[in-house]
Amino acid sequence: MAKVMKQASEVSALLCGILEDNGRVLFLLKKDERGREALELPHALVKSGENEVSALTAAMREQAGIDAQVHEVIKQGRHNAGSRKKKRGVPALGFRVTAKSAKVVAGKGFAGFRWIALREIGNVKLGRNSEWLR
């Protein structure tokens, strides 16, 4: 029996919004079922053919409550869109994002937010969708 590939529904890239304010970047605080904290950038997993800018704009609004304007890619890496056993690397792109107001309202699934300098991310626990920053 042959395996059927679901290429249309597979993730083709991870897009992250990098909103900077006074040298610090916005990270959303996520807690697992044990109460352990991890920080993640606002992000969107996109499929092939999706509009990246509109997907990231919608993610910023939903996850951080920010009406964002997406600009150029400022950071690139690789993200494991598969499992630990079946790794599947996809591009991870960090877009520079601006907003008229940096007032953050953490969305559903997030416990809060923190502003952290990118040079200090080695000292914090990053979530799965932000591990590529290291």
Per the CB < 8 A criterion, the answer to whether 30 and 124 are in contact is no
DSSP code for 26: E
Q: What domain range includes position 93?
A: 11-133
For residue 3, being part of any structural domain is answered with no
- Please identify every stretch of the chain with a pLDDT value under 70, giving residue numbers as ranges: 1-9
Q: What are phi and psi of 11, to 5 degrees?
A: -70, 135
The predicted structure's pLDDT at residue 9: 59
Residue given tokens 């395996």 in the structure block? 3
Examine residue 108 and state whether it is found in any structural domain, yes or no: yes
Residue 5 is predicted with a pLDDT of 44
Number of compact structural domains in the chain: 1
**Cα 40-8-4 angle, rounded to 5 deg:** 115
pLDDT at 8: 41
Q: What is the pLDDT of residue 20?
A: 94
Say if residues 18 and 25 touch (Cβ distance below 8 Å): yes
Looking up residue 94, the CATH number of its domain turns out to be 3.90.79.10
The answer to whether residue 52 is domain-embedded is yes
The whole-number pLDDT of residue 19 equals 96
Considering the domain boundaries, does residue 4 fall inside one?
no
